Amino acid sequence: MSIMLTLAPSWQALLQQEWQQTYFQSLLEFLNQEQSQGQTVYPPSEQILTAFQQCPLDKLKVVILGQDPYHGDNQAHGLAFSVNKDVKIPPSLKNIYKEIQQEFGGNIPSHGHLETWSQQGVLLLNSVLTVRKKMPASHAGKGWEMFTDKVIRQISTHKQGIIFLLWGRYAQQKGKHIDTSKHTVLTAAHPSPFSAKNGFFGCQHFSKTNDILSSQGQTPIDWQIR
């Protein structure tokens, strides 16, 4: 059975033409080959584009950029940094929660499912949208980076006042596609345990984002996960 990818209607006008590009056809061919060879790929095919399905373009306020999906069983479900509810919270997400607690108070959540952020207009976008089981970065360089570069460029061109949170050098390299005269870019260290103390903790990106949204007359994001 071939991999079928379906974009949410609000994103189709901006991105549907990518499906016809040579690089994307090669990407689909690679994904189908992985499947035909019996490889386990995360997230499941119907969840690869979850970020776009849960965050319609007309509601978009914030973009948080990750690298590639979690590669463990039942973790990835198509939202960067997010995991399914019955899975242990990964270290980077735990540090994100610690920063939110520092900024707003409250308790560390009991699960790592970030769906409520998406539904409020936060696009949780990985640069690479698939990975082979237990092989981090195994789908890097197959075409996803070109697609997500296009996503960022299209958002930059067609939207106004979007807040981009770029954590770590990898995400910050994507910043070259953003028109900073129209949008806000906030940068910090990656929330990984290896780097969080080098500038992620104390960055106050979540409260800064809400201050900017309020100044634009928009509803702030409720960052508390319940």
Helix (H) or strand (E) holding 217: none
CA distance 220 to 217: 9
**CA distances (Å), origin 173, targets 152, 168, 187, 198:** 12, 9, 11, 18
**Burial of 175 per CB tally in 10 Å (0-12, 13-18, 19+):** middle
Tabulate helix, strand, coil % of the chain (nearest 5): 40, 10, 45
Distance CA 60, CA 55 (A): 6
Q: Which two tokens stand for residue 45?
A: 């095919």
Q: Indicate if 73 belongs to the active site.
A: no
Residue 25 corresponds to which tokens in the numbers above? 């056809």
Q: Which of 58, 68, 73, 149 is catalytic?
A: 68
- CA-nearest of 98, 97, 72, 101 to 86 is 72
Q: Residue 41: which of 77, 5, 67, 85 has the closest Cα? A: 77
- Which structure tokens are listed for 119? 């539904």
Phi, psi of 85, deg, nearest 5: -65, -30
Amino acid at 134: K
Question: Active-site positions?
Answer: 68
